[in-house]
Chain A
Amino acid sequence: GAVVSQHPSWVICKSGTSVKIECRSLDFQATTMFWYRQFPKQSLMLMATSNEGSKATYEQGVEKDKFLINHASLTLSTLTVTSAHPEDSSFYICSATRQGAVYEQYFGPGTRLTVT
């Protein structure tokens, strides 16, 4: 159990366009989902914490108006990169925790975004 999917797995878009990434928990209810970004040869950087039905909590330095997060249900969270620029090109990964399991995070396979 504890499978998390992400869609799309990769996307190439033009500068200025917006891209939506979906994160789904397939076999459990995810009270909290996390969005990470990872640049090549760097560690995972937490962008925001998303709780179902409430506003996401963004990490310092992450623009909430640029990275829109919606966590409308216990199985789905979306990250929209608005007005994407080449510097937004990165590996975006979501993770989810089950209710009651505070620290164990299950990761989606990631979405590789390339902005041209």
Chain B
Amino acid sequence: RKEVEQDPGPFNVPEGATVAFNCTYSNSASQSFFWYRQDCRKEPKLLMSVYSSGNEDGRFTAQLNRASQYISLLIRDSKLSDSATYLCVVNNASRNAGNNRKLIWGLGTSLAVNP
């Protein structure tokens, strides 16, 4: 099983649609979870951290289900500028404190928002 698994997509949605991405992770001891966004041929940019109670930032809502080891990202009222690859990222839970900083990256889910 991959450490972080995402549906690669692509998701093609019309402007204004609501779209949800899911991600599962294998290490039950992981403590930190993130969604990053990566545009074509660019570096990843942090979209939002994912907190246990779920969190919202404008049109974006992230949720965490520790029991199922599952993270989600919901985008409401999609804009053309939301077209990108969304990367699910989980910290490497390890007794080695240095290794805890290591992030495990999913392959990403590609989103295309169409006019």
Contacts and interface: CB of A to CB of B under 8 A. Distances in A.
Interface in B63-115: 87, 91, 98, 100-103, 105-108
Given A43-B87, A43-B108, A109 B101 contact: no
Interface in A79-116: 91, 93, 97, 102-110, 112
Given A42-B107, A103-B32, A110 B102 contact: no
B101 A102 contact: yes
Contacts, number: 46
B41 to A, nearest CB: 7
B46 interface: yes
A93 B34 CA distance: 18
B98 A51 contact: yes
A106 B87 CA distance: 15
- Interface of B, helix, strand, loop or mixed by DSSP: mixed
B98 A103 contact: no
Nearest to A109: B43
B16 interface: no
A67 to B, nearest CB: 17
B98 A57 contact: yes
B47 to A, nearest CB: 12
Contacts of B107: 42-43
Shortest beta-carbon contacts, A-B, top 10: A107-B43, A103-B32, A43-B107, A44-B105, A110-B43, A43-B105, A93-B43, A109-B43, A103-B91, A102-B101
